[in-house]
Amino acid sequence: MITEKEILHALSYVQEPDLHKDLVSLNMIKDIEINDLSVEFTVVLTTPACPLKEKIETDCVAAIHQYVNDKAIVKVNMISNVSSNRQDKFVLPGVRNIVAVISGKGGVGKSTVASNLAIALSQTGARIGLLDADIYGPSQALMFGLNGQQPYLEDVGGKSMMIPLENYGVKVMSVAFLLKPDQAVAWRGPLVSSALKQFISDVSWGDLDYLIVDMPPGTGDVHLTLLQTTPLTGVVVVTTPQEVALADAQKAVAMLSMIPVKIPVLGVVENMSWFTPIELPDNKYLIFGEGGGQKLADYCSSPLLTQVPLYMDIMNGGDTGIPAALRANTPYGKIYGQMAQAVAQQVAILNGVVAQSS
Ligand SMILES: Nc1ncnc2c1ncn2[C@@H]1O[C@H](COP(=O)(O)OP(=O)(O)OP(=O)(O)O)[C@@H](O)[C@H]1O
Ligand SMILES: [Mg+2]
């Protein structure tokens, strides 16, 4: 008769590949059921976007065959409970991880990366919000097909809060929802700081696994306010491959060290990496040069998460309010899926490191 103790002993030889500790010490095994040679249990992952699910499952089965009984019939169920290392929940309570998408230079594709990241993460089953923090040039209302709509107010704990709009499984909040179509934002100087703080704290997001923040371009006061007001888990830096973009992106990273709290760089997304015409699928044209993403990743000592080529469908997706990541089986859909996994993986590693050191 197989015992629970034997199963746990076998699983203590299975490592979580990112956290470099075994599944039993990490408290990831639940609900073990044994019936003669049938063994069933649940592995609780730190993110539904875990890119190593299959490896973990294969390793579990192999360990039970090796250490318990090679004839055991093993069924591994996978669920997730997204990890978090937030201590102060005064701002944005209920949000487990907050990831800002930043860049130095404008127009490199932050908003496109942010919207597609949010959708690709939501497709894994994670609960996702997207905050468009680009108060001067908000784009997420358009990218999510929510132009012209308005959030409604609800009483939450005696306070009037804005309820985000929702599309494609993502809760979206943008200053664009509060403006009339032809109205520009005229907030200036100190007003911007207080307006932004209010904007961030007056939204009722509910429970979210990841809140993605689409940042404005550049490295000014607005950025410092945003970085200080929002308790960020980390940032994703977007760059294009050429040298000028790289220099600006380095400025954006340097800005992170100007505030007292340490904000980790989760990784770099190189956007517009190359162009491949449909009729010449083996050709890669390096329109904006090459190597910028890797250089920036080396500069930040963080990984190059992904390279996103130029695709007309990505641009059209943004313009028509139907983001490209929704078409998960296309080549670009797959790239966005892999980008989401890479971001979730870095968040999980970071949370694991913080948990182990505290
Ligand atoms: N990989 C891509 N392939 C094709 N078009 C892209 C790609 N990434 C972004 N674009 C297009 O490039 C333009 C700029 O992108 P986007 O608005 O996301 O940049 P941004 O960095 O947010 O700009 P800003 O600094 O103004 O906020 C948009 O028209 C977008 O559709
Ligand atoms: Mg933008």
Question: Rounded distance, CA 324 to CA 312, Å?
Answer: 10
Domain spanning 95-340, CATH architecture: 3-Layer(aba) Sandwich (3.40)
Say how many CA atoms lie within 13 Å of 310 toward its Cβ: 16
Closest CA to 41 of 13, 71, 17, 8: 8
Class level of CATH domain 4-80:
alpha beta
Q: Which ligand is nearest to the CA of 102?
A: 1
* pLDDT on residue 230: 87
Report the atom number in ligand 1 closest to the C-alpha of 308.
1
Give residue 143's pLDDT band: very low, low, confident or very high (50, 70, 90).
Answer: very high
* pLDDT on residue 220: 77
Question: Rounded distance, CA 53 to CA 60, Å?
Answer: 11
* pLDDT on residue 127: 98
Any idea which of 20-24, 68-72, 165-169, 275-279 has the lowest mean pLDDT? 275-279
Any idea which of 8-17, 116-125, 131-140, 204-213 has the lowest mean pLDDT? 131-140
Region 150-163 average pLDDT: 89
- How many A from CA of 228 to the centre of ligand 1? 26
Q: Is the pLDDT of residue 355 over 70?
A: no
> To test the ligand 1 pocket, which listed residue (108, 111, 112, 271) has its Cβ within 8 A of the most ligand atoms?
112
Question: Rounded distance, CA 245 to CA 350, Å?
Answer: 27
156: part of which helix (H) or strand (E)?
strand 152-156
* pLDDT on residue 105: 86
Does ligand 1 lie within 6 Å of residue 316's CB atom? Answer: no
> According to CATH, where is 3.40.50.300 located in the chain?
95-340
Which residues lie closer than 8 Å to 341 by C-beta, 6 or more apart?
Answer: 49, 50, 51, 124
State the DSSP code for 206. -
Tokens of 340: 């989401």
Say how many CA atoms lie within 13 Å of 245 toward its Cβ: 28
Instruction: Kindly list the protein residues that place their beta carbon closer than 5 angstroms to ligand 2, a single-atom ion.
Output: 110-111, 139
Report the atom number in ligand 1 closest to the C-alpha of 103.
21
State the DSSP code for 185. P
Question: Rounded distance, CA 90 to CA 242, Å?
Answer: 40
> According to CATH, where is 3.30.300.130 located in the chain?
4-80
Q: Which ligand is nearest to the CA of 112?
A: 1
- How many A from CA of 116 to the centre of ligand 2? 13
- How many A from CA of 108 to the centre of ligand 1? 6
Helices 189-201 and 221-229 sit at what angle, rounded to 10 degrees?
30
* pLDDT on residue 259: 84
Quote helix, strand, coil % in the chain, to nearest 5.
Answer: 35, 25, 40
Give residue 13's pLDDT band: very low, low, confident or very high (50, 70, 90).
Answer: very high
Does ligand 1 lie within 6 Å of residue 114's CB atom? Answer: no
Model confidence, pTM: 0.94
Q: Is the pLDDT of residue 131 over 90?
A: yes
Higher pLDDT, 227 or 180: 227
- Average pLDDT score, the chain: 91
Single-letter residue type at 156: V
Closest CA to 347 of 315, 303, 294: 303
- Give the Cβ contact number of residue 106 at 10 Å: 12
Does ligand 1 lie within 6 Å of residue 103's CB atom? Answer: yes
Tokens of 349: 């590693």
